Amino acid sequence: MSYQLQLPLPLPNYLVIFGLGDWNSYSMETTMSVELFLSPDVKSQEIGKLSKSNRSLVWEGEWRLDLLMASLKQAETGAPAKILLTINGQVTFSAAKEAAPAGVQSEWRPEEKRGWTERRNEGNPGKTSKGNAEEKPGAFYRISHMVFGLCCLLVCPSPRWNHAMCLSDPKTAVLIGGEGYEHQHCRDPLWKLEIENGFWFPMDSSLLGPAPQLSRGHTATYDPETKRIFVFGGMKQEQHNDMYILDTMTWKWSVVAAKGKVPTLAFHSATIYQKELFVFGGVFPQLSSEVETCSNTLLIFNPDYELWYQPLVEGEKPLSRFGHSATLLRNKLVIFGGKRSPAFLNDVYILDLGFMEYISVRTNSPQPSPRGFHAAVPVSDHKALISGGCNITGVLWDTFIFNVETLSWCTLSHDVLSSVPRTGHTMINLASTQLTDTNKDSQEKGKCCTILVFGGSDGNEKFYNDMVKICLDLEK
């Protein structure tokens, strides 16, 4: 005797399966094997067994590679996988007579990422197997005298790009905002990620204070000294230049009204240096009928005085741009690329924060093609990693490293990082907020740098919500 329950794809990282009710219909030796079935062409994978003495199981193993790859293809068709429950052992006549027929289908409600669904009778899909009551969302799978539950831990952010993401401590990252399908702001804007185990937690219900509006093209910058995240700018329904600050010790938001002459910006860069926020470039949000105009101004926000000011900077000023990157390497801010309508840029400027001077970089080494909306992250004290982005030819998937000491570029080949075209994504160096001087020297000497990549788009209405951890060998 066997039963099957639908499991929506993609495959979850964790499963909780349990049975409630009268187990007295089975002998002590009777077990119910649980396995995942994808298609007749792919071998099933055993998950575990239920019995009278062990009525629940938690699965957190690894899917077989062939099963995982086949599930990704099947997910594109919308067809689910199945959990097969097979009874092995003696079953009383009354239990067999009352049991629901095998092959019963269940209903999946895609808007419920975590929850229970109810098993239905084949002969009467509008009724439960227990009686004539109408089904209710969030019920269980029911098989006559027993009730089985299947919990898939699939809770995660919706696919998005042009979001902001940063660490809030060495083990936790915070995701804020972004845009998804049909140019809609994500309705699930605030998430917290436990990096080690990959658990996502929506933050809305646990936070106090005025959280940022739905937005895209904003920045979220973490100050490891004050343990605060500064969220500024972006495209939103109401244009304003307030600064949102999240205290990660109390998880409370506060809003700082702008003091000083501060424009409303989006797709700018923001960097913490010596407890101040350095904001460069960006586009001025305009009505759709107006031409995009962008900035090449450097602005500094001082949290202690809640004041914006514009510093005096020497040297050749970069062109106005937005969708660029600004990567801090010790006391040097490396500004690369971006868009200056209608052209894309691939120039490099270094802002020396000690002398407050711009330096235009001229290099003879092969350099990245013009691009904007790429991701950039420091991988050492003198190297910055550039990934993806887009330009007039489309979305890119190449990766480069810029060395601020030699002022040269090199190409980086990585099977995962360069596996799909990606723009509007984020990257985080998982060691960037916890390195001591000794650890920095150790990372410099060559071993490995771990990068977290999240989200983005392929430019063809496909948006990502995958979270990928990549170990880069800096010696290669």
- Per-residue pLDDT, 291: 62
Under the banding of pLDDT at 50, 70 and 90, the label for residue 437 is: very low
Same domain, 260 and 375: yes
Same domain, 176 and 124: no
Same domain, 19 and 69: yes
Q: Between residues 234 and 433, which one has the greater pLDDT?
A: 234
Q: What is the mean pLDDT of residues 190-200?
A: 89
CA–CA gap between residue 31 and residue 26 (Å, rounded): 8
Please check the confidence at residue 218 and state whether its pLDDT lies above 60: yes
Same domain, 235 and 139: no
Looking at the DSSP bridge assignments, the partners of residue 234 are: none
- Per-residue pLDDT, 314: 98
CA–CA gap between residue 333 and residue 356 (Å, rounded): 10
Q: What is the mean pLDDT of residues 226-246?
A: 89
- Per-residue pLDDT, 113: 34
Please check the confidence at residue 382 and state whether its pLDDT lies above 90: yes
Same domain, 88 and 218: no
What is the percent of the chain with per-residue pLDDT over 70, rounded to a whole number? 79
Same domain, 183 and 132: no
- Per-residue pLDDT, 338: 98
Which domain CATH number covers 172? Answer: 2.120.10.80
The per-residue pLDDT for range 100-154, each reduced to its tens digit, is: 333 333 333 333 333 333 333 333 333 333 333 333 333 333 444 445 555 544 4
Domain that includes residue 24, residue range: 2-152
Q: What is the mean pLDDT of residues 299-326?
A: 97
Q: Between residues 27 and 247, which one has the greater pLDDT?
A: 247
Last residue of a domain, one of 152, 187, 214: 152
Residue 18 placed within a domain: yes
Last residue of a domain, one of 110, 126, 152: 152
Q: What is the mean pLDDT of residues 319-326?
A: 98
Residue 30 placed within a domain: yes
The per-residue pLDDT for range 27-52, each reduced to its tens digit, is: 778 888 999 999 999 999 999 998 88
- Per-residue pLDDT, 111: 34
Residue 158 placed within a domain: no
Please check the confidence at residue 236 and state whether its pLDDT lies above 90: no
- Per-residue pLDDT, 217: 96
Residue 417 placed within a domain: yes
Same domain, 142 and 169: no
Closest CA to 165 of 467, 460, 396: 467
Residue 121 placed within a domain: yes
The per-residue pLDDT for range 248-287, each reduced to its tens digit, is: 999 999 999 878 888 889 999 999 999 999 999 999 886 4
Same domain, 73 and 94: yes
Give every CB contact of residue 111 below 8 A, 6+ residues apart in sequence. none
Residue 298 placed within a domain: yes
User: Which of 47-56, 243-252, 336-345 has the weakest average pLDDT?
Assistant: 47-56
- Per-residue pLDDT, 316: 96
Tell me the pTM. Answer: 0.69
Per-residue 3-state assignment (H helix, E strand, C coil) for the chain: CEEEEEECCCCCCCEEEEEEECCCCECCCCEEEEEEECECCECCEEEEEEECCCCEEEECCCCCHHHHHHHHHHHHHCCCEEEEEEEECCECHHHHHHCCCCCCCECCCCCCCCCCCCEECCCCCCEECCCCCECCCCCCEEECCEEEEEEECCCCCCCCECCEEEEEECCEEEEECCECHHHCECCCCEEEEECCCCEEEECHHHCECCCCCCCECCEEEEECCCCEEEEECCECCCCCCCEEEEECCCCEEEEECCCCCCCCCECCEEEEECCEEEEECCEECCCCCCCCEEECCEEEEECCCCEEECCCCEECCCCCEECCEEEEECCEEEEEEEEECCEEEEEEEEEECCCCEEEECCCCCCCCCCCECCEEEECCCCEEEEECCEECCEECCCEEEEECCCCEEEECCCCCCCCCCCECCEEEECCCCCCCHHHHHHHHCCCEEEEEEECCECCCCCECCCEEEEEEECCC
Same domain, 266 and 413: yes
Residue 355 placed within a domain: yes
Same domain, 169 and 134: no
Domain count, the chain: 2
Last residue of a domain, one of 90, 117, 152: 152
- Per-residue pLDDT, 206: 57
Same domain, 270 and 383: yes
Same domain, 138 and 197: no
Residue 157 placed within a domain: no
Please check the confidence at residue 93 and state whether its pLDDT lies above 60: no
What is the percent of the chain with per-residue pLDDT over 90, rounded to a whole number? 50
Please check the confidence at residue 179 and state whether its pLDDT lies above 80: yes
User: Which of 177-186, 232-241, 310-319, 409-418 has the weakest average pLDDT?
Assistant: 232-241
